[in-house]
Structure 1
Amino acid sequence: LKVASDNEGLSFDEDKYNKFIKYKELIQEWNEKVNLTAITEDEEIIKKHFIDSLKVFKIEELKKCKKFIDIGTGGGFPGVPMKI
């Protein structure tokens, strides 16, 4: 996660890192019960769900926004990674 985020120019502290790891574990756990995503491997979740969700912050206009709405995107993407 650290390497992937650094490669995209994104950085976060240990608390946020731990939240992403916990979220990844919850996705994997619940995906066994409910089909949340076809992407289940650690590295792929990080790259294709977390990092892709956070790329929204590369858009200058969105960096200034204080509120976002995530309506029906499933699995919590991009809303939960953005919130973390």
Structure 2
Amino acid sequence: MNEPDIEKTAIATPWGLYEWVVMPQGACNSPATQQRRLNEALRGLLSECCEAYVDDIIIWADNDTSLETRVRQVLSA
């Protein structure tokens, strides 16, 4: 969440005021934002060794050694 937008998510309850500090699931733009951020993170790897769709990442390789290397690359992206 952008700092100025956090106050826009406030919910008043008997126990206090609660604000989202991360994007809530179910918000109308959550899936598009998630996909955009994932694409940015995996920019150099997409179509080379993986594909990403919302919360799924498919990684492929010709052998186990290459697969392990690619999994490490994706997880460190």
Structure with larger Rg: 2
With the length of structure 2 as denominator, give the TM-score of the two structures: 0.24
Larger RCO (alpha carbons 8 Å, 6+ apart): 1
Structure 1 or 2: more helix by fraction: 1
